[in-house]
Structure 1
């Protein structure tokens, strides 16, 4: 399977598409912005304007073997229409990029077996999970950082940071891309994976060091909140794929 379509060539999707090109795949990529078409083409990506809310036909874009969905839309109707089109396409495998936000803060370590919140995102996950026309692997990424997305720039304008005793759950863009490559290379389908660094310093420790590392003022924290936290376990992605995180020290980013 050498033809891949990446739905959503944004901050993560574009870098992913370029990495797949470098591995010898033929890559189609989508954006919702006319201005970004040239940027995709310059990088060797076959460009498309795709908005799942438009209910247009995406036949040419879906003429691939694998579809990677990297958009933030929670439009259930749009996804139902997209899935009906995938069913009638050559797509055999789907990677759906989800988020660890599907888990509540229950003051415990969260695995893929834990109950999730009743949200549009979990409903969309299930639309893909139960479909028998193609095979889907769902990746729940933790908070994304890397390149220009440095945590020192988060919580600007002196906004106080909540839950200082809680723990950070983050993953670097490079690890996101490598995990996707491993799923494709190992033909690992019909799975749900959490993907998050193994290192979970407290939010107070993490954001203090992140701000100081960029010579910024010390952050302020909300001190009187009810203590709520979660730690995302990535044990399954490491056990099943044999994956070793590249960026696994959150205090040296």
Structure 2
């Protein structure tokens, strides 16, 4: 019997994630905010739904007629998420994977783990909305900066924009690793937990962006040399140990140029 999974947000990460679950034999429902993408989802055997968090449709319960829900949208709209949760409570959803961000952490001298205190921010409040709800199990997955394929770091600072904190470090993760981590959390039934996800290495921003600019054919980036150094290193040991996970792209200085 096929497992049903619903993916709220079939964009840069959610769409290939949905394809990956289809290939694993799941029946997948996916949401999009773009009418043009409806046919794309259909042609990839993903049941399409057109809506956004701010205007949840009358057929939202049809979308939520699954066992598992993956919430993968960048919104910080707390009221919108509260409204979504009221519908989840009425649905067949038993497990929620909420894709969050390591931006919930301040810079720190020590390596940041899942036990590190979060800063006060909307994303922290949204995480808690899901975690505290007893109608379903929630796992929080916090990704560092997302890159890979169309998202090339060498294109991020355009029109002479100065890059801050050159002596700081980068925390990033490739799309392929993001997809595999989500799949493994689902397949290994890792619920009611929290994970930080970042590649193994944390090169200096100066080194990383200099290489990234050269890879897309741009001249040397401009750095703010007066910007004070702040460090934030996201640890991934809990994730690797729990899932027995090995990153496809552990070294951010050795990424493919695709």
- Normalization by structure 1: what TM-score? 0.97
Q: Find the residue that maps to 1:94 and give its secondary structure.
A: strand
1:43 partnered with 2:44: yes
Cα displacement (A) at 1:55: 4.3
User: Where do 1:93-242 residues align within 5 Å?
Assistant: 93-242=95-244
Residue equivalent to 1:252? 254
Cα displacement (A) at 1:64: 0.4
Deviations 1:130-162 (CA, angstroms, capped at 9, x unpaired): 111100111000000011111111111121110
- Normalization by structure 2: what TM-score? 0.95
- Of 8-17 and 47-56, the range deviating more from structure 2: 47-56
Q: Find the residue that maps to 2:100 and give its secondary structure.
A: strand
Residue equivalent to 1:82? 84
Instruction: Could you tell me which runs of 5 or more consecutive residues in structure 2 were left unpaired when the two chains were aligned.
Output: none
Aligned with 1:64 (options 59, 63, 66): 66
Deviations 1:54-93 (CA, angstroms, capped at 9, x unpaired): 1444110000010000111111111111111111110011
In structure 2, what is the Cα distance between the partners aligned to 1:206 and 1:13?
26
Deviations 1:27-75 (CA, angstroms, capped at 9, x unpaired): 0000112121111111111000122211444110000010000111111
Instruction: Could you tell me which runs of 5 or more consecutive residues in structure 1 were left unpaired when the two chains were aligned.
Output: none
Cα displacement (A) at 1:214: 2.8
In structure 2, what is the Cα distance between the partners aligned to 1:169 and 1:41?
35
RMSD of equivalent CA atoms: 1.1
Cα displacement (A) at 1:198: 0.8
Number of residue pairs matched by the alignment: 253
Residues 155 and 216 in structure 2, CA contact (< 8 A), matched pair in contact too: no
Residue equivalent to 1:30? 31
In structure 2, what is the Cα distance between the partners aligned to 1:128 and 1:143?
22
In structure 1, what is the Cα distance between the partners aligned to 2:131 and 2:189?
16
Runs of 4+ aligned structure 1 residues displaced above 6 Å come to: none
Residue equivalent to 1:21? 22
